[in-house]
Amino acid sequence: MSIKADFQLDAKGLSCPMPIVKTKKAMADLVDGQILEVSATDKGSKADIAAWAESVGHQYVGTVEEESVLKHYIRKCSDDTMDERTFERTIGLGEAVERGGLILDVREEAEFAFGHIEGAKSIPMGELDARLSELEKEQEIYVVCRTGKRSDLAAQKLTAHGFTKVFNVLPGMTSWTGDLTSFSSAERS
The count of other CB atoms within 10 Å of the CB of residue 114 is 11
Kindly report the backbone phi and psi dihedral angles of residue 119, in degrees, each rounded to the nearest multiple of 5, phi listed first.
90, -5
Q: In whole angstroms, what is the distance from residue 128 CA to residue 124 CA?
A: 6
Kindly report the CA angle at 7 between 4 and 12, in degrees rounded to 5?
100
In the set 16, 40, 74, 104, the catalytic residue is 16
Residue 10 in 3-state DSSP?
strand
Q: Does the annotation mark 77 as catalytic?
A: no
Q: In whole angstroms, what is the distance from residue 164 CA to residue 46 CA?
A: 26
Active site residues: 16
